[in-house]
Amino acid sequence: MFGEAEPTRIWIEEDWSSDWVDLATMSRLILAPEGTLAAYANLEAVDPSNEVGAFGRVHPAYVERALGSGLVRWTEAVAGTLIPSGTTSSLRHSISGADPAARDLLTRAGFSHVRSAWHMRMKLPRWYAAGEPPHGVTIRPSVAGRDDREIWETMQAAFRTHFGFQPVGFDQWWDNTRRTGTYDPSLVLVAEVDDRIVGVSHQFVLPESGVGWVGDLGVRPELQGRGIGRSLLRHALADLSRRGFRLAQLNVDSQNETGAVDLYRSVGMTVFREWLDLEKTIEGIGGATLRG
């Protein structure tokens, strides 16, 4: 589909170990006769009354066998049991922009394209220079325990108005952030002004792929526009470069209202993949209780 594989193990591990995915009720595997995996899907729901997310794939060897349409019907049925009875909520499927068959399938099932996200990428030189932060701003690695609450507060404030954002409480957010075992406080950079954390960049790495990711980057709204986000991004890229990564990637909402796309382009990042969000309104018939 793309000409290159995209490692997603870390995303699957994070999703499947989180509070918002109950594998017993919110995942479905379809096995081929020989026992290999032919297709899979899973749902996730921080707050089902707000929205339910869906992600599924069919192995290329098993396309055009109605597996995808079966999984879509399954996601609708299970989403209905998660949404409180007597109410409606959105079921959102995320698919590759390079997969017109998936888009056609979902469109026929009544889903509408509502948003697009981009994967952006850049090559990292061996010694990437972060430069100096703005006057009065200090950027440093986080300290586990000491910085936890201010990091959470900053990220909640920075992303509150973003498309698809759902608030998560302090304890639950940190529990899920650390649950997979990939959390490393040195990969979380914080920007301080007057000893107060006002910006955060959280990286994660895939050593086997040679790719370093800028996972989340946010600045408190009242301090945006002062160059803090740009400096955090450059420090994140410099950190990934020092760790030996020659490629840096991130995801961004293509319609991000805070100027993030222009920021990423300004440091040399370009779009190389597109993901589409398609939604459908689902009527609730249950109100299942999720873990956590």
pLDDT tens digits, 84-98: 999 999 999 999 999
Find out whether 27 and 42 touch, Cβ atoms under 8 Å: yes
Q: In this structure, which amino acid lies at residue 193?
A: V
Q: Among residues 215, 3, 245, which one has the least CA distance to residue 119?
A: 215
Same-domain pairing of 134 and 25: no
Same-domain pairing of 54 and 81: yes
Which tops the pLDDT comparison, 193 or 258? 193
The mean per-residue pLDDT over the stretch 218-229 comes to: 96
Same-domain pairing of 138 and 241: yes
Q: Where is 39: in which H helix or E strand?
A: strand 37-44
Same-domain pairing of 89 and 14: yes
The answer to the question of residue 87 being in a domain is yes
pLDDT of 68 higher than 90: yes
Find out whether 291 and 176 touch, Cβ atoms under 8 Å: no
**What is the number of structural domains in the chain?**
2
Instruction: Report the residue count for the chain.
Output: 292
Going by pLDDT thresholds of 50, 70 and 90, the confidence category of residue 286 is confident
Q: In this structure, which amino acid lies at residue 200?
A: V
Going by pLDDT thresholds of 50, 70 and 90, the confidence category of residue 5 is low
Cα–chain center distance at 127 = 28
Q: Residue 19: which CATH number?
A: 3.40.630.30
The mean per-residue pLDDT over the stretch 124-138 comes to: 95
Q: Dihedral of CA 94/184/221/150: which sign?
A: positive
pLDDT of 227 higher than 80: yes
pLDDT of 191 higher than 70: yes
pLDDT of 289 higher than 60: no
Q: Where in the sequence is the domain holding 217, given as residue range(s)?
A: 125-245
Same-domain pairing of 241 and 129: yes
The answer to the question of residue 251 being in a domain is no
pLDDT in tens, 256-285: 878 899 999 999 999 999 999 999 999 999
Residue 179, token pair as written in the block: 């649950």
The mean per-residue pLDDT over the stretch 62-79 comes to: 95
Which tops the pLDDT comparison, 11 or 112? 112
Same-domain pairing of 132 and 241: yes
Which tops the pLDDT comparison, 225 or 6? 225
Find out whether 52 and 45 touch, Cβ atoms under 8 Å: yes
User: What is the reported pLDDT for 14?
Assistant: 82
